[in-house]
């Protein structure tokens, strides 16, 4: 498997596990509601459109990855440890903002990689397969503990920092 295909799968896995984890945080702190789930998906999609068209700088990957991990960390802390904030507007705003940031990264990533690789089928195939695998794995991990799902998001998010942007050469020391 080529390096670009690994990056696409890894990014898809990261985004899939993040979507499960983000919704679980919303579910934990706000209660189960189909309306909340669809609201989360709406913010994810709005973020994707924003990432594709508004903040589509070539080298924004590092910033997006950092923002995703930071906002997921804030969401984890607020939703799992700040019980005084449960069922408040603040929790909803934090989780939806997290979903929006992940959506921005997803939209930017898709637009950037299709433009870079000149092959939308390749990008969609590997990124979507990774997304489905990440979604299923993280959902299964919730049967054991949300800590495992959070760990998967953070682990795969950190692994993405090891993937250099296409066109950048790894500097030899």
List, for residues 104-144, the tens digit of each pLDDT value. Answer: 999 999 999 999 899 999 999 999 999 999 999 999 999 99
- So what's the pLDDT on residue 5? 92
Report pLDDT digits (tens) over 39-78.
Answer: 999 999 999 999 988 766 777 889 999 999 999 999 999 9
CA 139 – CA 161 distance, rounded (Å): 24
CA 156 – CA 161 distance, rounded (Å): 9
Does residue 101 register a pLDDT over 90?
yes
* Sign of the torsion formed by the C-alpha atoms of 22, 150, 165 and 127: negative
Identify the band that residue 4 occupies on the pLDDT scale cut at 50, 70 and 90: confident
Q: Which residues contact 156 (CB under 8 A, 6 or more apart)?
A: 10, 13, 14, 17, 134
- The torsion defined by the Cα of 38, 70, 24 and 52, in degrees rounded to 10, comes to 30
Does residue 173 register a pLDDT over 70?
no
CA 65 – CA 78 distance, rounded (Å): 20
Tell which residue, 82, 87, 96, 88, has the closest CA to residue 45.
96
Identify the band that residue 166 occupies on the pLDDT scale cut at 50, 70 and 90: confident
Identify the band that residue 172 occupies on the pLDDT scale cut at 50, 70 and 90: very low
Q: Which residues contact 46 (CB under 8 A, 6 or more apart)?
A: 100, 103
Query: Could you tell me where the beta strands, DSSP code E, fall in the chain?
Result: none
């Amino acid at each position: 498997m080529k390096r670009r295909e690994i990056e696409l799968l890894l990014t898809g896995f990261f985004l899939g596990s993040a979507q499960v984890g983000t919704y679980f945080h919303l579910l934990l702190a706000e209660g189960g509601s189909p309306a909340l789930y669809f609201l989360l998906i709406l913010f994810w999609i709005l973020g994707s459109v924003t990432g594709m068209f508004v903040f589509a700088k070539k080298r924004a990957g590092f910033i997006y990855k950092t923002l995703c991990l930071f906002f997921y960390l804030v969401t984890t802390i607020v939703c799992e440890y700040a019980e005084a904030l449960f069922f408040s507007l603040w929790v909803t705003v934090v989780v939806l903002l997290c979903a929006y940031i992940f959506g921005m990264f997803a939209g930017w990533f898709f637009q950037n990689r299709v433009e870079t690789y000149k092959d939308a089928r390749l990008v969609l195939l590997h990124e979507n397969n990774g997304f489905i695998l990440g979604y299923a794995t993280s959902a299964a991990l919730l049967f054991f503990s949300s800590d495992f799902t959070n760990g998967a998001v953070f682990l795969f998010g950190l692994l993405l920092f090891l993937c250099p942007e296409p066109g950048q050469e790894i500097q030899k020391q």
